[in-house]
Structure 1
Amino acid sequence: MMAYVELVDAQKVLKVGLPAVINITMVRELEGSYKTNISDIDFGRKILFLSIPSYKGRFVPIPKGVRMNVNVFDRSSIYEFDTISLGVVKLDNMYVIPVPFPNEVRKTERRKFVRIPLYLEGRFYLTPEEAAESFPFTTRNVSAGGMLIVTKKHLSPGDIIYVDLTFEENLALVKQKTKVVREDPMVEDGFVFGTQFLELPAQLETRLVRFIFQKELKMKNVKR
């Protein structure tokens, strides 16, 4: 995957609400990657306020002095910088972690939708009606823009299907309008089709980008 990295003005790209991942490698008991998001920004003091990150559904308050790498991402780029936790503080009745941010952050432009190998089971329908017959499929790879699936049901490029697929708790496609864009050589398990999500809500697309990015991070950590 080709990527282009440049330094950009942090104040122009960091925005409240953007999802982020905190990476900790220097403290063994906290080592890992944690989901968070930008709760507030103090541009005058150059302080970013991150929501208390979670890991496997549990909140992880990061103590003062812990060094970390932060990745903030939008729909097309990742913004990265190294920083340190200033502890846990209360901001507008919510606990957050303030971290300093530099004048410039590293921006990585990537392909709009990165594909990762991922095996999930789902079902699709040929019409969005509630009583429509469903057909099982298995994913081979997934991106925020589409997926490669294997199914016993034959389809043709141009066909429209409606997909039910759960990625994780609280992240799922429900009767998602999807287009078959290509047919690949058949495998032992069935027919292979490349598909593209249509009319995907922007919020759901952003959550999918975040989910795939986190999976990518885990794969890179395993390879190391």
Structure 2
Amino acid sequence: MAYFFEEVDINHIKPGLPLKIEVSSTNEFSGGEFKSTVDDIQGDLLKAGMPSLKGRFVPIPIGMMARISAVDQSSVYVFYASVLSNGEENGMTVTTFKLRSTIRRVQRRRFLRFEFIMNGTLKVAGTDQVYDFMTKDISAGGLRILMKANVDPGQIVLVTLDIDENLKLHDQQSQIVRKNDVESSELSEYGLTFLNMTSSFEDRMTRFVFKLELKSRGGKDD
């Protein structure tokens, strides 16, 4: 079975859908992964409950770009949006975003992430800069890693990682989608999404993550 991205229109984003809002850290804002819920859609504007982190509302600075994932029963809808305003409406704290990209629908299993610790290397595309990293978790569509290097979100990178004896990444084209500093550490945490995956490779990645899912539930991976 092949898994792939499909561009869809904004009508697929419905009020009530849960949101994951990822914002990279800057000198002025610590960034992180926040939770919210779709309140309303008007044209290319999305109104949501003010993002929260560990039960605390966090107003994201106006103009800041976020990577947003909206989740329904079968799919994840991914897009980029910038913050237009933070305020209060009808007794609710709300944040309004303006869409800045197309919306991509992805089968939900691509976004299931499981702890996976392994060492690899990353090369910044178009340069000779190569950095060591350690993975934190893996999904069929990307990695979360820790490394000392300073690489900006949006940068294209080439990833080399031996996932297991039958599944190896060699200069796999990927993109940095977020960066967050780690407190009291020289390391930064990066989110990577794989680019230009063949259907065959994507299928093998999905099967590998499915095995991790089975193991996490105490099942067999035969």
Q: TM-score, normalised by structure 2?
A: 0.48
